[in-house]
Chain A
């Protein structure tokens, strides 16, 4: 069988046939390679036509070494000049704002004592006046006035929290500030200790914009809170990084223009030496005996 096959398929093709067969193989191979390269070649032709020298003659002048060298020098000089001349940039302003907010929060937290006078417009239109004093980071007293008369007082002395109601002559002790139910103190909760005010500035108030007045060394910082429903404007003494005034504006959806309405204004005096006798309200000092004070303190 093997011999038969060898005889039938002898490797003795005529030279002409063999040459043509080889040519056929080569052509076949070339066709396959050509098909593979066809896509590359098409894009190459398009690009070569697009970038042919005549189309870009004008570019030759631009990319001349002299022109490029001159342009680069101009770019460096203009760039440097713009930077040195304090080119307006919103990011630089934001970085400055953030760092100042961190500094204010830190300064408030480290404050030893403070006295704050606050005016609040309640939802029912009632105007209340507050005096808040920090004697130390853990010792605070807040008085609520209706007109000139103190109606309530709040004492915080470490873990001890007492609310005195002068109208109903009642005293209540609380374990934490969150337990206080007197609605008069709700508006000033964030101001009852350095820690609370510092935390509000750092964690809750969202920075918006600021402007500085270098002549009087004051800066005005605007924050948003409660998802934009409340706007806070804080005036800061740039020498101490401590707030001297905070205004609170509530968003009024019923009004079309000037939709924010002033609801609170607080004026701060920092590191005033507060006497411990201020723990008792001035108007009530004569009415309360030592026994009552001891009751409150205990």
Chain B
């Protein structure tokens, strides 16, 4: 692609017309009422703000502006295109992960509110999957520039750049920028704010969602397991080890929980099953939070600062597969809750 073709600007009227058509379509969909069940404004706000917060945790405003300007067109130098690709890939991942996190939190909050009886709770638990839909849509939108940039084939960095940067990585540690701090504050604020909102809006809560959020057994197992794995593998500065550590410990915690669920089914003890399910969901929550707050930003910063040549495949697997596992476990939990345990009686 030549510089001229890359720099070719689209007519502002064309861009405006596209936005207008999209807006009309969205309004028409909302007014049709057919998708009323899929509308949840707070979830949408959570996913958007959460996704933006995760992006801010990894990139500066200038880098975001540069990547947004290029919007998937390989126009700059190799490092610039590399940064742009990193940005869009991280954005795609962030929205996907925030969508699943929002679903997990909504699912737990649905359990705290007894309005409408068991049926009402079950309905709200099912509706908790809506944020994932939002997350997936936004993730796909952000993935389009990634595909375009990859098509441009101008992204592979000269080998000497990455080698030189990898040599100096231990000596230079880039401090967090102001935007990064804002990102961290924003994501923590929106998570805590959601729990506070749930506590205030629920007239007669069955239990306090904070009790689940601060579930010590899962927290200790996930954190301890991750630290042990990071110490064993080493090289934590790039973030890949943390991503993998949180994903693996979350998965181990979930598997332990699943075994306990199966044992609970064999002994027909709903108390054991419920305790195991709580452990599973809480492990998934802490692992997701760890991957989002520690693993992903470290790895993003390492890549954009050219200290790492490319993303680790294992990290990609962790980012995309672990949230999927969490979703599957949520669906299983829903099925467990609404499936009656039959007992024999009578003559």
Contacts and interface: CB of A to CB of B under 8 A. Distances in A.
A85 to B, nearest CB: 9
Interface in A86-122: 86-87, 89-103, 105-107, 111-112
Nearest to B176: A47
A92 B118 contact: no
A79 B347 contact: no
B275 A75 contact: no
A87 B211 contact: no
A48, A80, A111: residue with the most chain B Cβ atoms closer than 10 Å: A80
Contact of B278 (A51, A74, A92): A92
B168 interface: no
Contacts, number: 189
B178 interface: yes
A39 B112 CA distance: 46
A206 B115 CA distance: 6
A205 interface: yes
A270 interface: yes
A172 B275 CA distance: 53
A29 interface: no
B274 interface: yes
A241 B341 contact: yes
A239 B333 CA distance: 24
A288 interface: no
A19 interface: no
A27 interface: no
B117 A203 contact: yes
Contacts of A189: none
Contacts of B339: 99, 102
B221 A241 contact: no
B278 A106 contact: no
A149 to B, nearest CB: 32
A73 interface: yes
A145 interface: no
A24 interface: no
B17 to A, nearest CB: 34
Interface residues of A, number: 62
A92 B338 contact: no
Given A89-B275, A94-B111, A94-B207, A203 B118 contact: yes
Contacts of B114: 206-208, 224
Interface stretch (B8-16, B32-40, B223-231): B223-231
B220 A76 contact: yes
A288 to B, nearest CB: 30
B217 A99 contact: no
Interface stretch (A2-10, A64-72, A160-168, A253-261): A64-72
A80 B217 contact: yes
Interface string B263-294: 00000001101110111010000000000000
A186 interface: no
A83 B283 CA distance: 12
A283 interface: no
B345 A99 contact: no
B77 interface: no
A75 B224 contact: yes
A204 interface: yes
Nearest to A227: B203
A44 interface: yes
Interface in A232-261: 239-242
Nearest to B222: A79
Nearest to A81: B217
A68 B231 CA distance: 8
Interface string B311-337: 000000000000000000000010011
Given A91-B281, A103-B342, A208-B204, 11 more contacts: A72-B228, A74-B224, A92-B275, A98-B337, A101-B118, A102-B340, A105-B340, A111-B346, A206-B115, A228-B203, A271-B347
7 contacts: A43-B177, A68-B227, A87-B216, A92-B277, A96-B270, A99-B340, A207-B118
Kindly list the 10 A-B residue pairs having the minimum CB-CB distance in the complex, ordered from nearest: A75-B224, A79-B220, A271-B346, A90-B207, A106-B340, A83-B217, A79-B221, A47-B175, A95-B274, A206-B114
